[in-house]
Amino acid sequence: MTAAENPWGWFLGYLLLGVTGSLAFLDGGYIINGEDCNPHSQPWQAALFLEDDFFCGGVLVHPQWVLSAAHCFQNSYTIGLGLHSLEPDQEPGSQMIEAGLSIQHPEYNKPSMANDLMLIKLKESASLSDNIRNISIVSQCPTPGDSCLVSGWGRLASGGLPRVLQCVNISVASEEVCKARYGPVYHPSMLCAGGGQDRKDSCHGDSGGPLVCHGSLQGLVSFGQPPCGQPNVPGVYTNLCKFSDWIQTTIQAS
Ligand SMILES: *[C@@H]1O[C@H](CO)[C@@H](O)[C@H](O)[C@H]1NC(C)=O
Ligand SMILES: *[C@@H]1O[C@H](CO)[C@@H](O)[C@H](O)[C@H]1NC(C)=O
C-alpha cells in the first residue's frame, strides 16, 4: 500500500447524479491509495475507448466477450486488452479490437442503479496470451470480509490519467452495512466492498472494471457516494453471482 499521505487524488471524470442526489456512477472512477499493479497481473482487465478516449473499464470473460457496467454503454467502442499503460503503441502484445454488439441487462436501472452490467461482443476473438486471458465468473455470492482486488485507470484530480493500471485490495462488506449505507437504493444486484477505517483500501477502479475475489470475478465497479475513501462508506459493485444464468445464456445465444 502506498502511504496515506501520497497525494493521489483519483477523481471522477464526470458524475451522473443518482436518485438521492449524492450517489454517482463512477465513469472514469478512481482508486484511492492503490498502487501500480504488477504489469499484466490482471490479464482480464479491459479498457473501453470511444475514439481514442478511455472512458470505462471492462473484463474479458470469454475470448470474444467483455463484461462491463451497463452505465458505460455507448454505440461503439474499441476495446483495449493486454494494456498496462493506456498507450497501446507502447504495449507490446496488446490488442485493440472493435466491439460489435453490446447488450445491456434488460433490467438495468429498474429500480434505479440496479442490474448495472452489460456484455460486449468483440468483432473478432482476442488471441489469448500471458498478458490477455479471460477470467471465470463466480457462481457463489461473496462472504463479508472476503479480500478482493479492484483495478482501474481512474482519472486524476487534474483530469489526467494514471500512467499505469492501479490495484487496491478491499474487503467485502455485509449486506446489512450495504443496506444501511445506501438505503432505498440498495438492491440484491449490488454488493458493497471497501469502507475500511484506514482509508487505504476503500475505493473504486473504473466503472465496469473487475473486483476479483479468490481468483474469480465477483463484481464490477458500479457507483459510490463521493468523495471516495471515506471510512465506513463502501463502494457499490454489481453482484455477479446473481447473473450467472443471464451471462451464460446471452453468450450462448449470440
Ligand atoms: C475462457 O473462455 C473459454 C471459452 O468460453 C472457456 O472454455 C474457459 O474456461 C475460460 N477460461 C476461464 C479461466 O474462465
Ligand atoms: C493484495 O493482497 C494480496 C494477498 O494478500 C497481495 O499479494 C497483493 O500484493 C495485494 N495487492 C495490493 C495492490 O495491495
Residue 46: what are its φ and ψ, rounded to 5°? -115, 155
The Cα–Cα gap between 247 and 69 comes to: 13
Q: Is 65 in the pocket of ligand 1 (CB under 6 A)?
A: no
Q: Which positions of the chain have pLDDT values less than 70? A: 1-34, 155-161, 197-205, 227-229
pLDDT at 160: 56
pLDDT digits (tens, 9 = 90+) for 209-221: 999 999 999 999 9
The ligand with the least distance to the CA atom of 213 is 2
pLDDT at 196: 75
Instruction: State the closest ligand 1 atom to the C-alpha of 128, by its place in the atom list counted from 1.
Output: 1
Q: Is 248 in the pocket of ligand 1 (CB under 6 A)?
A: no
How many Å separate Cα 174 from the centre of its chain?
19
Question: Ligand 2: residues whose CB is within 6 Å?
Answer: 1, 35, 149, 167-169
pLDDT at 20: 35
pLDDT at 9: 21
Of how many residues is the chain composed?
A: 254
Instruction: Give nearest CA residue, ligand 2 atom 1.
Output: 169
The Cα–Cα gap between 81 and 94 comes to: 6
Active site (catalytic) residues: 71, 116, 207
Instruction: State the closest ligand 2 atom to the C-alpha of 35, by its place in the atom list counted from 1.
Output: 13
pTM across the whole model: 0.87
Closest C-alpha among 145, 20, 131, 29 to residue 85: 131
The ligand with the least distance to the CA atom of 215 is 1
pLDDT at 24: 53
